[in-house]
Amino acid sequence: MNQTLQSRTQRTNFQFLKRQCRDRGELFNDNEFISSIKSINNLCKTINYPIVWMRPHEICSNPKFIAEGVTQFDVNQGEYGDPWLLAAISSLTLTPKFLDRVVPPDQNFDYGYCGVFRFRFWQFGDWVEVLIDDRLPTSKGKLIFLHSSDPSEFWAALLEKAYAKLYGRYEALIYGITSKTLQDLTGGIVQSFPLNGHDKFLTFQVLNSAVPRSTLLIASINILYV
Encode pLDDT of 149-178 as tens digits: 999 999 999 999 999 999 999 988 887 777
Q: How far apart are the two ends of the chain, measured CA to CA in Å?
A: 47
**pLDDT at residue 66, as a whole number:** 92
The answer to whether position 198 is within a domain reads: no
The answer to whether position 203 is within a domain reads: no
The answer to whether position 182 is within a domain reads: yes
The answer to whether position 97 is within a domain reads: yes
Beta-carbon contacts of residue 22 (< 8 Å; ≥ 6 apart): 112, 114
Write phi, then psi, for 99 (nearest 5 degrees).
-65, -45
Closest C-alpha to 120, from 41, 14, 15: 14
Count up the domains in the chain and report the number: 1
**pLDDT at residue 98, as a whole number:** 87
**pLDDT at residue 104, as a whole number:** 93
**pLDDT at residue 175, as a whole number:** 76
The answer to whether position 99 is within a domain reads: yes
Q: How many residues does the chain have?
A: 226
Structural domain span for residue 90: 3-189
Kindly give the parts of the chain with pLDDT less than 70: 1-12, 42-47, 81, 197-198, 211, 213-214, 217-226
The answer to whether position 196 is within a domain reads: no
